[in-house]
Structure 1
Amino acid sequence: MNIALIAHDKKKNDLIQFALAYKGILGKHKLYATGTTGLKVTEATGLEIHRFQSGPLGGDQEIGACIANNAMDMVIFFRDPLTAQPHEPDVSALIRLCDVYAVPLATNMGTAEILIHGLERGDLKWRAIVNDKEIDDDYGKE
């Protein structure tokens, strides 16, 4: 599965901790991230991550384009709801696209943990079936 990792500045450390805790699961999938977030997660975890532009420079839109083109299966986006973001319209558009294309989206640690455990169990295989992608029979097994 293709998984996007995004975090606002004040939430980057939370995402790093999440990625460290679930490195074994995340490492079985193709990871994508906005620029700075991807760099910091890679440095902390050693996970291979394709990096798009920084969020304010278009990274959110690049991930949105992947969603619209059926190339993203899950988005983990640790948002900072207490700090105004200069690119808030891009953030809103990304969330809207997840809803339009039925892409599972976590915007906080609690939801991200539910999604990651579901991913490990194979609960998200429906993405491959619905979207006519090749299904790995060992998906979610250790």
Structure 2
Amino acid sequence: MQIRIDSKTLKSALGIDDKAAQEKINQTKIVKIEEALIVPKHQKGGLTVEEPTNRRDGVLAIYLLDEGSVTITPLAFDLKAGKFRQSEPDAEPAASASTNLQADPGRGFELALQINSRAALEAFLKYHPDGLYADLARAKLETMPS
């Protein structure tokens, strides 16, 4: 299945404006889906990638990466619905997200990925059970051995 990522998709999934969405698309050189690295086909206004897992349901963790393989943004693609899930911020973010990992789900998720263990992802989900990053954490857990 081909997955199209364009400005409209990013605006809806991430809650950003046209300019920011197009900038993310222009910066994207590699797309990581689960553990597969894919060079996207850049087309007018967006890019297209071939979904490598051939799964029919669940959530795919998709990462847009720049030329240095640094994550530009994570996305969650619902295979059954055939669309990206919207980013859902925590209900009550704390004032100092930069120093409080519980207040910044994106930072907490990135650290859990760096640790690369089931325990780290499960701990992340304890504090952030809902939203985009929770969906991505669950998708990552599905790919890890028990």
State the TM-score, normalizing by the size of structure 2. 0.30
Higher relative contact order (CA 8 A, sep 6+): 1
Q: Work out which of the two has the higher radius of gyration on C-alpha atoms and give 1 or 2.
A: 2
